[in-house]
Amino acid sequence: MHPDVVLVRNGELGVKSEQVRRKMEDRLAENLRAMFAARGLTGDIERRRNRLFVHTDEPDAVADAAADTFGVVSASPAETVEPTLEAISSALVDATEAHYDGGSFAVDADRAGPASAHPFTSPEIESECGAAVWDAVESMGAEPAVDLDDPDFRLCVECRPDEAYVYLERRAGPGGLPLGTQRPVVALVSGGIDSPVAAWKLMARGCPVVPVYVDLGDYGGPDHRARARATVETLAGYAPGEPMSLHVVDAGAVVADLEAAMADLRMLSLRRFMLATAEAVAEAEAAVGVVTGEAIGQKSSQTSANIAVTDVATTLPIHRPLLTMDKADITNLARDIGTFEDATVDTGCNRVAPELPETNADLDAVRAAEPDDLFERARTCATAREVVPIER
Ligand code: ATP
Ligand code: MG
């Protein structure tokens, strides 16, 4: 097979109104170009309804790059052939000779355009070309078998009036919407397993993120900061068109004060402080929400009762895309995204947490126990933040 094009499918964009879809497709094309450039790849993007075609000499790497781009549902390296049964059959036979490795096979064909565009139907492509593949398998010395539902070897054909495309695989993309089609949100990123996954999930819905790391002083330290930075670098790899910086808020003095002044409620005040710093950074960076990696009940500060107490620390919406997920599933996602390896040290929070933290806190009790100037200090610390550009 000689793939010369990558078919890029963009799923959810197809159900938008014409105007919105056009804008989102513009952005998707722009993001794909940025992704190719970041990986040193070249490709000409041709736009068609619900699809992008990338004409390229490097279909394999281009398909991988597309499959890492938000808004892309799947990508297939494909070979362009004449839209005739002879040409399609011949390409399928070539593909079989090069890639068939035993077991059952199936030919899946789709035809686009008016019925008059081709003197054949999709079922006719499947049966005629399937027969040619059958013969090819037989002449390779194997026992041919067709399994339309779950074949070991699937050959796909997309036949359009002017051209047909033949491909063997669909590489799954993240889906969602193109990055940059929503307003940005601040991502509270600790470098643990959860928060980078949560940030990635918002990116996958089109939101650029402004990552904020709260440095907990003696409870955090250089290893935590380096780890947070490493996860943000990995996230930045999914956003080649977006400049990204890590905003580091120094909270060492605040943590020490909370620890001295408060007992079993201090984690909640620390969370409230973090959310208040996030709000201040959001204001400065024109972001419209905050994303955290919280999941109900995962930790004492994340019981449904305690989330009610921390949630009111900001008037911005707090997005919690992992809210109902189990840790094992979040961990699998972190592995897929590539942030798991960066996140193997314990977070500082684990050390700030008291022996017996409150799991059913009362807002008035937390307010009464925490320093009066907690939110003011959050704003001051946020203003003094260090902005570290992320290289890629
Ligand atoms: P992760 O930080 O990835 O969730 P974790 O589960 O160990 O790992 P938690 O203590 O559960 O961390 O923190 C809950 C959420 O609070 C995090 O998902 C993150 O959004 C935010 N957060 C915690 N610590 C920090 C920090 N030092 N800086 C910025 N955000 C933080
Ligand atoms: Mg967590």
Q: Candidates 185, 189, 193, 195: which one to mutate for ligand 1, based on the most atoms within 8 Å of Cβ?
A: 195
Structure tokens at 103: 């077991």
Cα distances (Å, whole numbers) of residue 230 to 35, 42, 53, 59? 19, 28, 33, 29
313 lines ligand 1 (CB under 6 A): no
pLDDT at res. 40:
97
Q: Tell me the binding residues.
A: 188-189, 271, 293, 302
Higher pLDDT, 391 or 135: 135
Query: Which residue, chain included where needed, has tokens 């054949």?
Result: 120
Cα distances (Å, whole numbers) of residue 273 to 226, 279, 380? 22, 10, 11
pLDDT at res. 346:
54
Q: Are 41 and 55 in contact (CB under 8 A)?
A: no
The overall pTM is greater than 0.75: yes
pLDDT at res. 221:
75
197 lines ligand 1 (CB under 6 A): no
Closest Cα to atom 4, ligand 1: which residue? 194
Name the H helices within the chain: 18-38, 59-67, 85-99, 122-139, 194-203, 222-236, 252-261, 266-285, 304-311, 327-337, 349-352, 363-369, 374-383
* Cβ-based neighbours of 296, under 8 Å, separated by 6 or more: 302, 303, 304, 307, 323, 324
pLDDT at res. 349:
55
For residue 344, report the distance from its CA to the centre of ligand 1, in Å.
Answer: 13
For residue 361, report the distance from its CA to the centre of ligand 1, in Å.
Answer: 19
Please tell me the least confidently modeled range out of 6-20, 31-45, 309-323.
6-20
Structure tokens at 161: 């009036």
Q: Candidates 185, 193, 194, 309: which one to mutate for ligand 1, based on the most atoms within 8 Å of Cβ?
A: 194
DSSP type of residue 317 = P
Cα–Cα distance measured from residue 61 to residue 57, given in angstroms and rounded to the nearest whole number: 10
pLDDT at res. 352:
66
Please tell me the least confidently modeled range out of 160-164, 189-193, 218-222, 300-304.
218-222
| Span 158-182, average pLDDT | 96
DSSP type of residue 343 = G
In percent, the amount of the chain with pLDDT more than 70 equals: 98
76 lines ligand 1 (CB under 6 A): no
User: How confident is residue 218, by pLDDT bands cut at 50, 70 and 90?
Assistant: confident
User: How confident is residue 157, by pLDDT bands cut at 50, 70 and 90?
Assistant: very high
Task: Please give the distance of CA 118 from its chain centroid, rounded to a whole number.
Answer: 39
342 lines ligand 1 (CB under 6 A): no
> Using one digit for the tens of pLDDT, what is the confidence trace for 277-331?
999 999 999 999 999 999 999 988 899 999 999 999 999 999 999 999 999 999 9
- Sign, CA torsion 146/147/152/156: positive
> Using one digit for the tens of pLDDT, what is the confidence trace for 108-145?
999 988 999 999 999 999 999 999 999 999 999 999 99
Cα–Cα distance measured from residue 56 to residue 58, given in angstroms and rounded to the nearest whole number: 5
Higher pLDDT, 23 or 347: 23
Query: Which residue, chain included where needed, has tokens 């989102």?
Result: 24
| Span 188-209, average pLDDT | 96
DSSP string across 106-163: EEEEEE-S-GGGSSS-HHHHHHHHHHHHHHHHHHTT----B-SSS-SEEEEEEE-SS-
**21-50 as b/e, with b when 16 or more CB fall inside 10 Å?**
beebbebbbebbbbbbebeebebebeeeee
Please tell me the least confidently modeled range out of 32-36, 60-64, 350-354, 376-380.
350-354
For residue 193, report the distance from its CA to the centre of ligand 1, in Å.
Answer: 9
200 lines ligand 1 (CB under 6 A): no
Q: Residue 36's closest CA among 54, 24, 22?
A: 54
- Sign, CA torsion 321/323/324/325: positive
pLDDT at res. 12:
84
| Span 244-248, average pLDDT | 97
Closest Cα to atom 23, ligand 1: which residue? 190
| Span 246-261, average pLDDT | 96
283: number of Cβ within 10 Å: 13
| Closest ligand, as measured to the CA of 212 | 1
188 lines ligand 1 (CB under 6 A): yes
378 lines ligand 1 (CB under 6 A): no
Q: What is the mean pLDDT of the chain?
A: 94
132 lines ligand 1 (CB under 6 A): no
- Tell whether the model's pLDDT for residue 215 goes beyond 80: yes
pLDDT at res. 223:
84
- Tell whether the model's pLDDT for residue 213 goes beyond 60: yes
| Span 140-161, average pLDDT | 96
In DSSP terms, 377 is beta-bridged to none
pLDDT at res. 15:
82
Query: Which residue, chain included where needed, has tokens 């109902």?
Result: 324
For residue 299, report the distance from its CA to the centre of ligand 2, in Å.
Answer: 7
| Span 254-280, average pLDDT | 95
User: How confident is residue 173, by pLDDT bands cut at 50, 70 and 90?
Assistant: very high
Locate the ligand 1 atom nearest the alpha carbon of residue 224 and give its number. Answer: 27
216: number of Cβ within 10 Å: 25
pLDDT at res. 76:
98
- Tell whether the model's pLDDT for residue 98 goes beyond 60: yes
pLDDT at res. 351:
63
